[in-house]
Amino acid sequence: MSSKPYDIFLPDDESEVLASPDDSSEEAEIVEYKFRVSKDLTRRVDQYLTDRVSYLSRSGVQRLIDEGLVKVNGKVTKASYRPRTGDIVEMIAPPKPVSELIPEPIPLEIVYEDEHFMAINKQAGIMVHPARGTWTGTLVNGLVYYGRNWSTVNGSWRPGILHRLDRNTTGIMLIAKSDEAHWRLARQFENRTIQKTYVAVVHGIPQLMSDVIDLPIGKDRYIREKQAIRKIENGGKPAVTIYNVLQTFQAPQEATLSPGEHPHDRNNPPPPKQYAFVKLMPKTGRTHQLRVHMMALGHPMVGDTMYGGHIFQSADFRMERQALHAAEITFTHPATLEEMTLKAPLPEDITTLLKRLGAETINY
């Protein structure tokens, strides 16, 4: 994992910097700090690190400690610990944010637009807003470039953003223009009165053609970027998904499957050799919910190597992102109060995948 250069603020000579971010990458996802304490301190370790990494707040440092990303002498510590002479304090942290958004001419496929909001069909490979060291190439960079007035409810770093899709998930997204429209739409998301419909291509054929998946989701205990099925008492939050199987397919003889590049991809069992085109209707909005639920069902999404899926290849076609698309959203217009349903057409790669699997018609 790469890092970026930051000056570390040292108010006195009580520490020696053993490791600090280098300048090896302009797109760091994390930064790593390491200090040796030269005298016993009366301050807690969360205060100590806030002094040394000035762009982090004390509550931010405490969150890192809670997530096990701060260690003293190689062991996870508590925020209340007071460092002593010779202690080695290590911290993994997010990078320092840049000071301004860079406008970029990123193409936007507009599905609907009026003076209150806009709906787009987000393409694959685009993050919604800058985060974790990715400061350019995001949807927000494109919104700033096109210069419309966007809502300011979520601050200058997330203009107009009401909800998110994963980097490699395509489909319908709503973007608010006025603050009033933002609040009215956000309340619908909060109250779960907005109905979202996704479609996906998964490995294998579910035993039931329609069912409800009711399994709580929380952070994976071992891999920072992942989510997992977790009991409520172990940090999981309620998560519910309804699915319907639309079409089923046998594996094409010429197709091959392969895991991704990450080591944990290769630890997943080989997926089934059949396929299904499914409709997914989340009733909650947990991070990676649909991907985690389908993996838990034993039917990970094609191309989703993070959650047990494999890369699909047939002749000159290769599907190496999760085959997941936000196809439709139904909500109440923030000004007219009329019910609206907006749809985003399937992207070319999922359409091609379905045809390679033998689909003659694609209905959802």
**Looking at the annotation, which residues are catalytic?**
166
Dihedral angle of Cα 98, 101, 104, 110, to the nearest 10 degrees: 130
Label residues 121-153 b or e (16+ Cβ within 10 Å = b): bbebebbbbbbebbbebbbbbbbbeeeeebbeb
Length of the chain: 364
User: Residue 317 in contact with residue 299, Cβ under 8 Å?
Assistant: no
Contact between 155 and 127 under an 8 Å Cβ cutoff? The reply is no
Residue spans of beta strands (DSSP E) within 283-323? 311-314, 317-319
Instruction: Find, among 336, 60, 350, the residue nearest to 199 by Cα.
Output: 350
What whole-number distance in Å separates Cα of residue 182 and Cα of residue 293?
Answer: 29
The CA distance from 357 to 203, in Å, is: 11
C-alpha 117, offset from chain centre? 23
